[in-house]
Amino acid sequence: MSEALISLTDDGLYCSAGDFHIDPWNPVPRAVVTHAHADHARWGCGRYLAAESGAHLLHTRLGASADIATVPYGQPTEHNGVQVSFHPAGHVLGSAQVRVEYRGEVWVVTGDYKLDPDPTCQPFEPVRCHTLITESTFGLPIYRWETPDVLFGGVNAWWAANKAAGKCSIVYAYALGKSQRVMAGVDPSIGPIYTHGAVEKVTRAYRESGVLLPSTTPVSEVPAGRGKAKPWAGALVLAPPSAAGSPWARKFEPASEAVASGWARVRGARRRKAVDRGFVLSDHADWPGLLTAVRESGASRVLATHGFAAELARYLREGGLDAGVIATRYGDEEEGSDSGKQEVEG
């Protein structure tokens, strides 16, 4: 086999023929970006190329002055004879798989992705290739997601019960993608929805991108000094996980707190978050989703990265595929990958 079309360098995944990096973790001259999460869209690169639907989010993350070029999903662009195109990944708004073709050889870097339905972003589309570099955040059979009807039925029932008890309902969910998915999935007729500033900033970018979401009010815009009234009773508050246990969160008492994360599938992860409920909601593919994506790619070679990469690669090899691991430095917006892995492995 000739030199790999995409290889791993100190700056991340690199296509030498096209002279560009994909989701680099250091500033580089040319970055092809799969989506706007901080571990994939790093500040300081010379030029960025991304999917068109993620433009508002990327400028929100990287600043208005960042040199960001975008192209629609499926529209190829060429760099030094290498053809690059973006294809929906279903992870968050604007997320994309990167298809790279050079001299008849096709590689796909999935970035983060999921196959579950999500009204806040375009659904995942399989992309045929020779070599697939796939994430494997939840690459163990224990990780299987519920249908949206079952999941959000549980969230709505919890919220309604808290309202009846005169409590506020706080859901801790990542500010970019997860919080907006919660908004889109719950029943807004139960009560008002308030947002942490970090959540509201991203939500505005979603709305500017054309995503329909229920009405929300930033907590900072709620007038103070209402006497003995409890404006938060019966409301839903969406905040990033970093707000849990903070003085900011304590203002909503009495409250019931929940975390929305794929790691909530493992009960120990809920205990570590010190919350009342854990809703199993992830913007990453579950085990069946990972296997489906690999199968539908038609790839003869698979490189797993991020999460349970070795476990997924071993399973694929046992099924007859040429599979291995490529060690990247991507983080985990689910906030708990290391602890989740320890819980499962014992």
Q: Are 13 and 109 in contact (CB under 8 A)?
A: yes
The pLDDT assigned to 273 comes to: 62
249 phi and psi, to 5 degrees?
A: -70, -30
Mean pLDDT of the chain: 92
User: What are the angstrom distances between the C-alpha of 150 and each of 145, 186, 214?
Assistant: 10, 11, 20
User: Taking the C-alpha atoms of 170, 137, 72 and 292 in order, what is their torsion angle to the nearest 10 degrees?
Assistant: -110
- In this structure, the number of other CB atoms found within 10 A of the CB of residue 5 comes to 19
Read off the pLDDT of residues 66-104 as tens digits, 9 standing for 90 and up: 999 999 999 999 999 999 999 999 999 999 999 999 999
The pLDDT assigned to 341 comes to: 34
User: What are the angstrom distances between the C-alpha of 272 and each of 113, 115, 175, 238, 343?
Assistant: 26, 28, 20, 19, 11
The pLDDT assigned to 308 comes to: 96
Examine the pLDDT at 230 and tell me if it is beyond 90: no
DSSP 221: G
The pLDDT assigned to 267 comes to: 67
pLDDT-above-90 percentage for the chain: 88
- In this structure, the number of other CB atoms found within 10 A of the CB of residue 218 comes to 15
CA angle (122, 296, 32) in 5-degree steps: 55
Q: At which residue do the structure tokens 């070599």 appear?
A: 131
pLDDT tier at 343, thresholds 50, 70, 90: very low
Q: What is the pTM of this model?
A: 0.92
Question: What's the CA gap between 22 and 223, in Å, rounded?
Answer: 45
- Give residues with Cβ within 8 angstroms of 157, minimum separation 6: none
Stretch 204-229: mean pLDDT, rounded? 87
Instruction: List residues bridging with 238 in a β-sheet.
Output: 171, 195
Read off the pLDDT of residues 280-339 as tens digits, 9 standing for 90 and up: 999 999 999 999 999 999 999 999 999 999 999 999 999 999 999 998 888 766 653 333
